[in-house]
Chains A and B, each alone.
Chain A
Amino acid sequence: MIDLLREIVAGLFLFAGAFFLIAGAIGMNRMPDLFTRMHAASVGDTLGVSLMLIGMVFLAGFTLVTVKLFFLLAFLLFMGPVASHALAAAALQAGVKPLLAHEGKAKAKSAEGVKKAAARKPAARGKTPASKGRRP
């Protein structure tokens, strides 16, 4: 009975960890610049990894394995923010600028909307000439 309960709790923790890991990985692919990508990666690196390690603690019970898992957890929680800070500081010093909101919109428009804009331009010009002047 207690073993079954332990396995269920461990499974829930592992499932939650897997969810956060995959969410972080998808975020790393979809975010537009380095600093937002770091934000997405920190989800997987803290929540995902620690939830999975806690799930494995439930699987292991009171053994030496648990002690090692807690060492691993403490080390990851200690070094993750330090590495993130060092990475952000190095990127800023190397001249990587954070993407601002209006820049992001313009960039997204120019990057993904090239085909759409090419198709839209003649029609839009005919309909509203004022919209052309607003474009930077």
Chain B
Amino acid sequence: MIAAALLAVLVAMALVVVRALRGPSTFDRLLAANSIGNSAILVLALFGFLTDRPEFLDLGLTYALLNYVGVFAVLKFFRHGSLGAEAEADKT
């Protein structure tokens, strides 16, 4: 059961990778990267259940946090052309 769910998540991930490779604009690729990150969290959690090692859930939590921080960083970079270091420097 868990193995079947893992397989389904991997199939969905492969389909999203196709979109990430094909995607015409950067935002398509970013959307696909976000989806791949969500699927990767599921893969980590399911793998932890499959091998009876619940430590993998901690990896999943960390991955979720890093995934969203990464997506927001890339979005901000494409929106402003930088990560906002100049604005901080101007303020001080």
Contacts and interface: CB of A to CB of B under 8 A. Distances in A.
Contact of B25 (A80, A83, A89, A96): A96
B38 A44 contact: yes
Q: Is the interface of B mostly helix, strand, loop or mixed?
A: helix
Contacts of B4: 14, 18
Q: Indicate the size class of the contact surface on chain A.
A: 35 or more
Nearest to B72: A86
Interface string B48-91: 01000010011011001100100110010011000000000000
Contacts of B46: 52, 56
Contact of A34 (B28, B42, B72): B28
Interface string A86-97: 110111011010
B42 to A, nearest CB: 5
Contacts of A7: 1
Nearest to B17: A25
Contacts of B25: 34, 91, 96
Contact of A76 (B38, B49, B58): B38
Contacts of B72: 83, 86
Contacts, number: 134
A124 interface: no
B83 to A, nearest CB: 14
B77 to A, nearest CB: 10
Size band of the interface chain B makes with A: 35 or more
A59 B31 CA distance: 30
25 contacts: A14-B5, A15-B5, A21-B12, A25-B11, A25-B15, A25-B19, A28-B31, A34-B25, A34-B28, A37-B19, A53-B45, A60-B49, A63-B54, A69-B45, A72-B64, A76-B64, A79-B68, A83-B34, A83-B68, A83-B72, A87-B27, A87-B71, A87-B75, A93-B79, A94-B27
Given A28-B35, A38-B31, A75-B65, 12 more contacts: A14-B2, A22-B12, A25-B13, A25-B35, A34-B28, A41-B32, A44-B12, A45-B34, A52-B45, A71-B61, A86-B75, A94-B78
